[in-house]
């Protein structure tokens, strides 16, 4: 593993970015108040990082710490909010199902070894009977909900991370109790709604928040901490001042307006299909079919996905295009969370310029209050990714194109050499690695601006002008003062192996390569585009209703995942369809997309599994049967680069190129490639959900689970099967 550290570094040719935003004069804009730099209150002390503005401060008083217990009270209810709409130069009123009235739920900060208590109260009204037949895999009953800790290694049972439990509306409550292992990775995680059938509407309404695990385990104490060392402990300057950090929860809320009180008919422009709202009308997320899975082909032949027709913007912590204030030359840690349920984010940071030729503009708090026209097409700023899905990498991946798929996180160090304005953009894309490709987008909507960065030059503590690599190397050298020379040397080469995630029971730098594999299951995704046909099996008891509800109208589309060669099935509780493993088993999965009989298609999906992360061992190009990686992990040229002018996107895979031996919980799946991963089922017996993190796919049935048995659960089920249930008490008492 060691040799791969520096050889995997790569740099893409800078993609040209062309995004324009207009900043007309604001009229009735409310100024939010920001706390520009403050120490994170629940963790006073040396290692606490200072958080910058643009994190979610909404509902912060509903999260509290007492000793090693962190408690969050979340109330789910309809809330009235406003979302800034740059196109209309207006605050759009919205009425959404929200946690604690927030567009982005409160940020929760915990430490390894803590107990996290989340008391969820469901104060939504009872679903109208017409909207709630609750047929499995037919999105419906949107007021039933629950909670998932995405990426966390905690028990999925009982009051733990149990998404099979439903918290009913009109007063239902559930006390989640999560015992976070002392060996848990420190990193960027998140929590979100996960009730099957209501997940996409919930998450797309903003029922999501950042969950940060902070680590203070130093290199010197690694023996005491089972080998775990946190990268956090070296991310500080020579004076011990921690790296500034920003939590950036990217949300995609497709709010729309309806012509009727029961949200049957979404208001759309009859020519373009673009969503419209009469002045003053409150937008909502209420109709699964119209707001998630509908698409439209216009007269010019362009196909438009629901998210693009919505005309909405990717929000950062509930805000549209916030301005981030950064000091020149300073290194920041950006904790980016792809909290949208459907679209790809191709995150790039580029220098901005002004259409009127003005080189530099002093801006008020909000750039949108300026009347200048800004163009985001300048030089790209590199992102130095230190962690993927909250787990510290073996090496820093240096890139200026950062693909994020729904559910993924990227922790990147960024620094700006020159003062001025920069844009954080979603560059979009026109290749197979983009879930909603550029060609489906209306002109002028893509790429889009996510945030504006204002880099200040009145800073004496940091010298600008130096390259990002130099600045970050210096930070790592200062932060590792006092550590052994070989650790410092590795850090200087951007080798993080002394700090990287490793599975429990193993040692730093070790991975799952050398373990013997217990099973080799497969997980393949297919979309069913016609009524279930021969070759795909309808689960017992599932009818094909034409319900006319705000969920799907009939099973015109269904989503399938097959595990271990079983029949292609939408999600089913039938135990004969569930894949069983044993605690401690090491599985090598092959993950991809393939057709499964008539009426099914391949496509882009996102494999997500609960409880235990997976390690990407290899990615195979189906057309050649060969790895996309060269020995040592460097990506072969045809996957890294696309020939200039080429329209062939079949191999170009920058999103895969830095994934060799990366651990993560959410990974991108696209036609033509299969990903080989390994995982070890550790610590927690129970049902680990496995599903597509394109959440409308999940709600339609692209989900199953792995049942993890411990010795104890296996013996008990064997006994009860043998009619020996009377002995259960006695026996379990001995264990």
Which range binds Cu ion by CB under 5 A, 277-285, 305-313, 337-345, 694-702?
694-702
CA angle, residues 212, 213, 217, in degrees to nearest 5 = 145
Q: Which two tokens stand for residue 620?
A: 């195979």
Taking the C-alpha atoms of residue 323 and residue 33, their distance in angstroms, rounded to an integer, is: 13
Tell whether residue 605 is a contact of Cu ion (CB under 5 A). Answer: yes
Tell whether residue 692 is a contact of Cu ion (CB under 5 A). Answer: yes
Query: Buried (b) or exposed (e) across 510-528, using 16+ Cβ within 10 A?
Result: bbbeeeeeeeebbbbbbbb
Which range binds Cu ion by CB under 5 A, 411-419, 493-501, 514-522, 602-610?
602-610
Q: Is 136 left (phi over 0), alpha (psi -120 to 50) or beta?
A: beta
Tell whether residue 342 is a contact of Cu ion (CB under 5 A). Answer: no
Q: Which is nearer to Cu ion, 26 or 560 (CB)?
A: 560
Question: Which residues, listed in sequence order, are joined to residue 27 by a DSSP beta bridge?
Answer: none
Tell whether residue 697 is a contact of Cu ion (CB under 5 A). Answer: yes
CB 525, min distance to Cu ion, A: 6
Q: Which two tokens stand for residue 145?
A: 């909900």
Residue linked to tokens 């023996």: 223
Tell whether residue 694 is a contact of Cu ion (CB under 5 A). Answer: yes
CB 3, min distance to Cu ion, A: 36
Taking the C-alpha atoms of residue 557 and residue 572, their distance in angstroms, rounded to an integer, is: 16
Which range binds Cu ion by CB under 5 A, 69-77, 189-197, 273-281, 600-608?
600-608
Longest dimension (CA), the chain: 83
Task: Please name which of 312, 365, 406 lies closest in space to residue 94, comparing C-alpha atoms.
Answer: 312
Which range binds Cu ion by CB under 5 A, 167-175, 179-187, 605-613, 723-731?
605-613
CB 695, min distance to Cu ion, A: 9
Q: Which is nearer to Cu ion, 450 or 703 (CB)?
A: 703
Q: Which is nearer to Cu ion, 59 or 551 (CB)?
A: 551
Taking the C-alpha atoms of residue 555 and residue 264, their distance in angstroms, rounded to an integer, is: 18
Tell whether residue 277 is a contact of Cu ion (CB under 5 A). Answer: no
Residue 595 DSSP code? -
Task: Please name which of 334, 319, 451, 249 lies closest in space to residue 51, comparing C-alpha atoms.
Answer: 334
Window 546-585: contact mask with Cu ion (x via CB under 5 A): ----------------------------------------
CB 661, min distance to Cu ion, A: 25
CB 199, min distance to Cu ion, A: 12
Which range binds Cu ion by CB under 5 A, 13-21, 25-33, 597-605, 723-731?
597-605
Q: Which is nearer to Cu ion, 79 or 602 (CB)?
A: 602
CB 696, min distance to Cu ion, A: 8
Tell whether residue 132 is a contact of Cu ion (CB under 5 A). Answer: no
CB 698, min distance to Cu ion, A: 7
Which range binds Cu ion by CB under 5 A, 52-60, 84-92, 626-634, 688-696?
688-696
Tell whether residue 608 is a contact of Cu ion (CB under 5 A). Answer: no
Contact predicate 238/326, CB 8 Å: no
Q: Which is nearer to Cu ion, 257 or 552 (CB)?
A: 552
Which range binds Cu ion by CB under 5 A, 71-79, 99-107, 502-510, 599-607?
599-607
CB 603, min distance to Cu ion, A: 7
Q: Which is nearer to Cu ion, 493 or 597 (CB)?
A: 597
User: Cis link prior to 135 (omega < 30° from 0)?
Assistant: no
Q: Which is nearer to Cu ion, 330 or 389 (CB)?
A: 389
Residue linked to tokens 């050649």: 624
In terms of C-beta distances under 8 Å and separation of at least 24 residues, what long-range contacts does 642-649 make, across chains too?
A: 642/431, 649/430, 649/431, 649/432, 649/433
Name which of residues 62 to 121 contact Cu ion (CB under 5 A): none
Tell whether residue 591 is a contact of Cu ion (CB under 5 A). Answer: no
Q: Which two tokens stand for residue 183?
A: 């060996």
Taking the C-alpha atoms of residue 334 and residue 413, their distance in angstroms, rounded to an integer, is: 6
* Distance from the Cα of residue 689 to its chain's centroid: 16
Taking the C-alpha atoms of residue 12 and residue 120, their distance in angstroms, rounded to an integer, is: 44
Q: Which two tokens stand for residue 684?
A: 């927690």
Q: Which two tokens stand for residue 539?
A: 């689960």
Taking the C-alpha atoms of residue 174 and residue 147, their distance in angstroms, rounded to an integer, is: 10
Total chain residues near Cu ion (CB under 5 A): 4
Which range binds Cu ion by CB under 5 A, 45-53, 66-74, 239-247, 598-606?
598-606
Q: Which is nearer to Cu ion, 618 or 698 (CB)?
A: 698
Name which of residues 243 to 272 contact Cu ion (CB under 5 A): none
Contact predicate 570/696, CB 8 Å: no
CB 519, min distance to Cu ion, A: 23
What is the number of helices (H) and of strands (E) in the chain?
11, 40
Q: Which is nearer to Cu ion, 500 or 694 (CB)?
A: 694
Which range binds Cu ion by CB under 5 A, 246-254, 547-555, 671-679, 687-695?
687-695
User: What phi and psi, each to the nearest 5 degrees, are found at residue 257?
Assistant: -115, 155
Binding site for Cu ion (CB under 5 A): 605, 692, 694, 697
């Amino acid at each position: 593993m060691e040799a791969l550290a520096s050889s995997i570094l790569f740099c893409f040719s800078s993609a040209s970015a062309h995004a324009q935003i207009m900043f007309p004069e604001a009229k009735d804009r409310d100024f939010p108040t920001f706390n520009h730099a403050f120490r994170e209150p629940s963790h006073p002390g040396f290692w606490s990082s200072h958080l910058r503005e643009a994190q979610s401060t909404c509902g912060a008083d509903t999260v509290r710490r007492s000793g090693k217990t962190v408690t969050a009270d979340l109330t789910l209810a309809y809330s009235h909010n406003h979302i800034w709409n740059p196109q209309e130069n207006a605050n759009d009123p919205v009425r959404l199902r929200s946690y604690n009235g927030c567009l982005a739920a409160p940020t929760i900060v915990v430490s390894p070894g803590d107990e996290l208590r989340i008391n969820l109260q469901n104060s939504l009204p009872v679903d109208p009977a017409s909207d709630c037949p609750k047929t499995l895999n037919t999105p419906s009953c949107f007021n039933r909900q629950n909670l998932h800790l995405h990426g966390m290694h905690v028990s999925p049972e009982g009051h733990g991370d149990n998404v099979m439990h439903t918290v009913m509306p009109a007063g239902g409550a559930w006390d989640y109790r999560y015992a976070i292992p002392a060996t848990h990775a420190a990193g960027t995680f998140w929590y979100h709604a996960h009730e099957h059938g209501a997940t996409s509407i919930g998450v797309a309404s903003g029922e999501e928040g950042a969950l940060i695990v902070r680590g203070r385990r130093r290199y010197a104490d690694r023996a005491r901490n089972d080998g775990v060392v946190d990268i956090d402990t070296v991310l500080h300057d020579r004076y011990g001042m921690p790296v500034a950090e920003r939590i950036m929860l990217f949300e995609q809320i497709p709010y729309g307006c309806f012509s009727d009180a029961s949200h049957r008919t979404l208001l759309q422009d009859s020519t373009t299909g673009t969503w419209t709202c009469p002045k003053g009308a409150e937008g909502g997320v209420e109709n699964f079919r119209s707001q998630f899975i509908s698409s439209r082909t216009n007269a010019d032949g362009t196909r438009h996905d629901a998210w693009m027709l919505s005309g909405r913007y990717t929000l950062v912590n509930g805000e549209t295009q916030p301005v981030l204030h950064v000091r020149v030359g300073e290194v920041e840690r950006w904790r980016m969370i792809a909290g949208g349920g459907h679209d790809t984010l191709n995150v790039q940071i580029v220098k901005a310029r002004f259409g009127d030729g003005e080189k530099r503009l002093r801006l008020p708090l909000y750039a949108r209050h300026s009347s200048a026209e800004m163009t985001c097409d300048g030089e790209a700023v590199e992102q130095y990714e230190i962690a993927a899905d909250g787990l510290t990498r073996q090496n820093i991946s240096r890139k200026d194109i950062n693909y994020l798929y729904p559910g993924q996180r990227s922790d990147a160090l960024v620094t700006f050499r020159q003062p001025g304005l920069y844009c954080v953009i979603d560059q979009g894309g026109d290749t197979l690695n983009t879930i909603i490709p550029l060609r489906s987008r209306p002109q002028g909507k893509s790429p889009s601006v996510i945030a504006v960065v204002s880099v200040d030059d009145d800073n004496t503590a940091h010298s600008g002008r130096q390259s990002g690599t130099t600045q970050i190397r210096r930070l790592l050298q200062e932060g590792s003062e006092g550590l052994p020379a070989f650790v410092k040397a590795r850090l200087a080469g951007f080798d993080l192996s002394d700090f990287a995630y490793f599975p429990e029971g193993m040692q730093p730098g070790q991975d799952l390569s050398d373990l013997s594999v217990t099973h080799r299951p497969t997980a393949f995704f297919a979309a069913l585009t016609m009524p279930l046909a021969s070759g795909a099996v309808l689960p017992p008891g599932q009818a094909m209703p034409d319900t006319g509800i705000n969920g799907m109208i009939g099973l015109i589309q269904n989503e399938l995942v097959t595990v271990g060669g079983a029949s292609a099935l939408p999600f089913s509780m039938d135990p004969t369809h569930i894949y069983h493993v044993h605690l401690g088993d090491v599985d090598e999965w092959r993950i991809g997309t393939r057709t499964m009989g008539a009426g099914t298609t391949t496509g882009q999906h996102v494999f997500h599994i609960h409880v235990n992360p997976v390690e990407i061992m290899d990615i195979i190009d189906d057309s050649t049967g060969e790895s996309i990686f060269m020995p040592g992990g460097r990506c072969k040229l045809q996957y890294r680069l696309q020939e200039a002018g080429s329209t062939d996107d079949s191999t170009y895979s920058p999103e895969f190129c830095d994934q060799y031996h990366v651990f993560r919980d959410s990974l991108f799946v696209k036609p033509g490639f299969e990903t080989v991963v390994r995982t070890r089922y550790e610590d927690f017996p129970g049902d680990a959900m496995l599903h597509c993190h394109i959440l409308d796919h999940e709600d339609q049935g692209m989900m199953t689970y792995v049942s993890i048995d411990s010795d104890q659960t296996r013996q008990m089920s064997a006994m009860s099967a043998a009619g020996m249930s009377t002995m259960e008490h006695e026996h379990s008492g001995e264990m």
